[in-house]
Amino acid sequence: MRKLILTCIASGICMVSGYAQSLFTYGPHSVSKEEFLRVYKKNSINKKPDMTDTALRSYLDLYALFRMKVAEADKQKLDTVATIDHELDSYRKQLAKNYLTDEQVTNKIIHEAYDRMKEDVHVEHILITCTPGSDTVAAYRKIDSLYHLIESKKADFETLAKQFSDDKGSKDNGGDIGYFSALQTVYAFENMAYSTPVGKVSAPFKTQFGYHIIKVLDKRADRGQVKVAQIMIGVSKSKGEAGVEEGRKRADSVEAMLKGGASFEDLVKKYSDDKYTVNDGGVMKPFGTGHMVMAFENAAFALKKPGDISEPVKTDYGFHIIKLIAKYPLQPYDTLYPTLKHKVENDSRAQVARDRFFAKIKEKSGFKEYPENVAEVNTKLMSVPDTGKGAKTFKAADFKDMTKPAFTLAGRNYLQNDFVKYAENLTHGKLNGPKNAVVRDAYNMYVNSVVNDFEEHKLVEENPEFKNLMEEYRDGIMLFELMDRNVWSKAAKDSVGLKAFYETHNSKYNWEPGFDGAVYKFKNKAAFDTGMILLKGGKATDEEMVKAINTQASPDGVNIQRGRYEFSRFKDATQAELQKDNMKVIPGTNGQYTVIVAKKIYPTATKKTLEEARGYVVAEYQDYLEKQWNEKMRREYPVKVNETVFKSMVGKK
């Protein structure tokens, strides 16, 4: 229900300001013709609004009622309720992410990614890991020493990679990670790979994984994507070389059958060990550079014409016989733009656009930092002891006298102790890891947080689209709260009102003719035979029957459902059948049996108790309360339509 309301609101129901023709008033409030038409057209099916008098009046009545309820929520100041205020703040932060970026820079990065997709890069790398909070100096010194050994030609790249690289996936191959293209690695790694000339080794650089140096082996034109089918012959690794040889013989045998004219698809079904493609004729999703192991990828791209089939190709997974289905060139920029934009916005490179945007905000808003004051508070944080009682622990209260400005933004000073309060909340008062790095990172995050919050609140004033979306969401969650108070929760909690409503309308809540009893579903004849013995004995409980029939070997031997059944909705037995004999046996398909046992038969309709009809009563009581509330709203916010303005809309496109 809540999702439905928020969806309706988000589709365009929001207030607009400024001078406009008033279409109608509701109490002291008014709605302009322009606002009404914008909302009406936005919510029209297939964007083709029905501009007849009847359709417009119907929607006006609906929209006026909505605006009354929002006005009532404002009157009750529901936006100050803690849960609503928190939800609005969370939504604003989430929504603002789409706006707090430099669109020009973002588009430049998207173009850069597309241009790089036209070229594949083949690199080797050496990684020295550096986990967050660890000693980055030692890691840098190690990678730097390896770099100078390579540059001075005292050691070769591949040997050092095998000896020292922390990348387990490539070190045994001398650091070779094969070819890749844009958006397949972290941005810093990609940048270095594309900017380093072929045959050269990069200077050390850092990513979130640690420090790297890379050697660029080759650059080639993009090969696009390829779609293939495969027959995969698995290899038993536990058998060692014997397993490999066994797999090779099976693959050679399949290849011989193909050359003899056997159908590729038939051989897939019979011999392929790839459970993901065996039921699809071996067909795989299209892939490009860097998405498959190198041997498989190269063999697939080496095929020239659709229908060509490779010789068996060995990988760590086994042997593959590959059939080419199609090749696809790189798609045009405009076609890929939506996909690229989504990837860029969720990639580390998006931070570049955000950093540029924040830099502009700082410049525009008069950001001024006081380095000496920042250094002063940093020095005190650095003095926190590393050992003993309270090691690496700090409290913001100990910094309350540090009231010098760390920086100024838009004329407001943000003090030293403001930063420490933020740092305490961020780190839970613990300086774990290298203190200098922790303090530096905490300060940078504090500055970004302040700038971000500042711009978030300014968006409402400066960006009409953002403002409208925030108002729509605000109206939606307030209306949900109001509906919950006046209708949904009230109907469920108002036991006196619910009982009175039931008593007034209890003639509606009836059981049709039916029976109280049980339906037993037996999985097989053996379960059925056991069940019938217990049923005819007349003393076994449901629990005893389940225990007797449902074993570990056959846990679903019997399923029992008890309740009151109405003959009009129960198709397995008629009233006459159960009145003649309180039990009916129905042999089913696949050896299953259904047994119906009627404990009591009701030949005529009977009243439902409130508990028996509760679901129906609550739903109808909610409808009743909503209608009553709607009438109250209409009385408190009487609607007056400007007929002249209304008629000017009728028949217009």
Domain regions of the chain by residue span: 1-99+463-506+618-653, 119-221, 225-328, 365-440, 510-607
DSSP structure class, residue 596: E
In 181-317, where do the E strands start and end?
A: 205-207, 210-221, 225-234, 313-315
Whether the pLDDT of residue 407 is over 90: the answer is yes
pTM for the structure as a whole:
0.58
Whether the pLDDT of residue 12 is over 80: the answer is no
The kind and range of the H/E element at 306 are none
What percent of the chain clears pLDDT 90, i.e. is strictly above it?
A: 68
Segment 577-584 shows an average pLDDT of 85
Beta carbons of 322 and 310 less than 8 angstroms apart: yes
pLDDT of residue 236: 84
**CA pair distance 651, 649, nearest whole angstrom:** 6
How sure is the predictor about 48, in pLDDT bands with cuts at 50, 70 and 90? confident
Whether the pLDDT of residue 653 is over 80: the answer is no
- Amino acid symbol at 121: V
CA dihedral 86, 91, 93, 94 (to 10 degrees): 140
**CA pair distance 641, 434, nearest whole angstrom:** 69
Whether the pLDDT of residue 104 is over 50: the answer is yes
Look at the alpha carbons of 10, 339, 343, 168 in this order and tell me if their dihedral is positive or negative: positive
What percent of the chain clears pLDDT 70, i.e. is strictly above it?
A: 96
Least confident of 357-361, 377-381, 554-558: 357-361
**CA pair distance 157, 144, nearest whole angstrom:** 13
CA atoms lying within 13 Å on the CB side of residue 35: 21
Beta carbons of 318 and 232 less than 8 angstroms apart: yes
Q: Do domains 1-99+463-506+618-653 and 119-221 have the same CATH topology?
A: no
Q: How many residues does the chain have?
A: 653
In CATH terms, the fold of domain 119-221 is: Chitinase A; domain 3 (3.10.50)
Domain 1-99+463-506+618-653 has CATH 1.10.4030: yes
Beta carbons of 117 and 182 less than 8 angstroms apart: yes
Mean predicted lDDT score pLDDT of the chain: 90
**CA pair distance 179, 301, nearest whole angstrom:** 13
DSSP structure class, residue 204: P
Beta carbons of 127 and 209 less than 8 angstroms apart: yes
How do residues 168-198 score in pLDDT, each as one tens digit? 989 999 999 999 999 999 999 999 999 999 9
pLDDT of residue 1: 44
Whether the pLDDT of residue 61 is over 60: the answer is yes
Whether the pLDDT of residue 240 is over 90: the answer is no
CA dihedral 164, 168, 172, 176 (to 10 degrees): -90
CATH value of 225-328 in 3.30.300.30, 3.10.50.40, 1.20.1050.10, 1.20.1740.10: 3.10.50.40
Beta carbons of 621 and 501 less than 8 angstroms apart: yes
pLDDT of residue 134: 60
- Residue whose structure tokens are 């009563």: 617
Name the region of 127 (left: φ>0; alpha: ψ -120 to 50; beta: rest).
Answer: beta
How sure is the predictor about 4, in pLDDT bands with cuts at 50, 70 and 90? very low
Beta carbons of 550 and 557 less than 8 angstroms apart: yes
Segment 138-160 shows an average pLDDT of 94
pLDDT of residue 103: 80
Whether the pLDDT of residue 13 is over 70: the answer is no
How sure is the predictor about 101, in pLDDT bands with cuts at 50, 70 and 90? confident
Whether the pLDDT of residue 5 is over 90: the answer is no
Beta carbons of 292 and 274 less than 8 angstroms apart: no
- Amino acid symbol at 149: L
Q: Collapsing DSSP states into helix, strand and coil, what is residue 551?
A: coil
Least confident of 142-146, 208-212, 386-390, 630-634: 386-390
pLDDT of residue 552: 87
- Residue whose structure tokens are 């405009």: 334
How many CB atoms within 10 Å of residue 198?
Answer: 12
Whether the pLDDT of residue 412 is over 50: the answer is yes
Calculate ∠ Cα 36-42-44, nearest 5°. Answer: 100
Q: Collapsing DSSP states into helix, strand and coil, what is residue 384?
A: coil
**CA pair distance 579, 378, nearest whole angstrom:** 89
Segment 129-151 shows an average pLDDT of 84
How sure is the predictor about 446, in pLDDT bands with cuts at 50, 70 and 90? very high
Q: Among 471, 464, 384, 463, which Cα is nearest to 429's?
A: 384
Whether the pLDDT of residue 100 is over 90: the answer is no
- Distance from chain centroid for Cα 450: 27
Whether the pLDDT of residue 345 is over 70: the answer is yes
Segment 585-605 shows an average pLDDT of 91
Q: Collapsing DSSP states into helix, strand and coil, what is residue 641?
A: strand
pLDDT of residue 471: 85
Segment 401-420 shows an average pLDDT of 95
Angle between helices 464-483 and 53-75 (to 10 degrees): 80
Segment 421-430 shows an average pLDDT of 93
How do residues 600-642 score in pLDDT, each as one tens digit? 999 999 999 999 999 999 999 999 999 999 999 999 999 999 9
Q: Alpha helices, DSSP H only, in 551-650?
A: 575-580, 614-636, 643-647
pLDDT of residue 44: 80
Q: Alpha helices, DSSP H only, in 19-127?
A: 33-42, 53-75, 82-96, 103-116
Q: Alpha helices, DSSP H only, in 346-415?
A: 350-364, 371-382
- Amino acid symbol at 201: V
Segment 205-222 shows an average pLDDT of 94
